[in-house]
Structure 1
Amino acid sequence: MPVRPLKPCAWPGCSTLVRGDYYCPRHAPLAAERQQAAKRTVHRRYNERRDESDAFYKTERWKKLSAYYRKKHPVCEHCDNAASDITDHIKPVKTHPDLATDWDNLRALCRACHNSIGERVGLVAEGAGRASG
């Protein structure tokens, strides 16, 4: 199997050659810390907005409706392989608050399907030029 060529460290101004990694041993910990700090900032900003946007999901009405819907739909409606863990809105509550408790706007999903559908919806929304979350 061929050996990968050496590349310069990705840290700005560093010319140390590395093979298989982006950063040299000196800059790898600094890059990891920088990445963690960026993640903390993103999570903090998200959580600051979250209480406002997720207030509906904390209501007793939603909790009961969600549990009842999953009781009636115990299997994931997307993959038909796993138990349903999450009651999801087909049209989001943020854009369609009038459909928040509409039975026809709900679907029972396993966590894996919910996450993959959410990623696709997020990508579609960003591609359409709408602001996401």
Structure 2
Amino acid sequence: MPRKPDVPCKHPGCARLVPYNQMYCDEHKPLHSHDREYACERGYGRAWQRERKKYLQLHPICVRCYEEGKIVPATVVDHIVPHRGDMKLFWDRENWQSLCKHHHDVKTKTEDRDVEYRF
């Protein structure tokens, strides 16, 4: 089976090729060691996708839109209190709410503003 082709380093201005599953060349890797981890490394893997799907089936309406008297399908399962890497809080269903993309974006921009997440 052929392997995936190398890709350019993602550091601005660097054209060195790196293996497909890497983001930076050896020179720039230390500069980006504090970048955000992949979603699956932060807990958003297959198990989350499965539970998210179940939750949205049980709670298909955006709670914020419903409070405004509108019926809009939810597309995002939001953590009411940001978990910031706390897996107990991450999986606590009492901390989940169904939101549409608009309300999730608004919540993230207002409530989570100026917070730096390190997982």
Q: Distance in 2 between matches of 1:71 and 1:100?
A: 19
How many residues matched? 83
DSSP-derived class of the 1:100 partner: helix
Q: RCO higher in 1 or 2 (8 Å CA, sep ≥ 6)?
A: 2
Q: In proportion to residue count, which structure has more helix?
A: 1
TM-superposition CA deviations, 1:32-64 (whole Å, max 9, x none): xxxxx8xxxxxxx6xx41417853112x22111
Between stretches 104-113 and 73-82, larger displacement belongs to 73-82
Q: RMSD over aligned Cα, in angstroms?
A: 2.7
Q: Distance in 1 between matches of 2:60 and 2:39?
A: 30
Structure 2 gaps of 5+ residues are 1-11, 13-31
1:87 aligned to which of 77, 85, 88: 77
Instruction: Tell me, yes or no, if the aligned pair for 1:70 and 1:84 is still in contact at 8 Å.
Output: yes
2:61 aligned to which of 75, 79, 83: 75
Structure 1 gaps of 5+ residues are 1-36, 38-44
| TM-score, normalised via structure 1 length | 0.53
The match for 1:56 is 43
Q: Which amino acid aligns with 1:132?
A: E
TM-superposition CA deviations, 1:81-129 (whole Å, max 9, x none): 3100011111222153211111101000000000000001223xx3xxx
Identity of aligned residues (%): 22
| TM-score, normalised via structure 2 length | 0.58
Go from structure 1 to structure 2 and tell me whether the alpha carbon gap of 1:75 and 1:64 turns closer, same or farther (over 3 Å shift).
same
DSSP-derived class of the 1:57 partner: coil
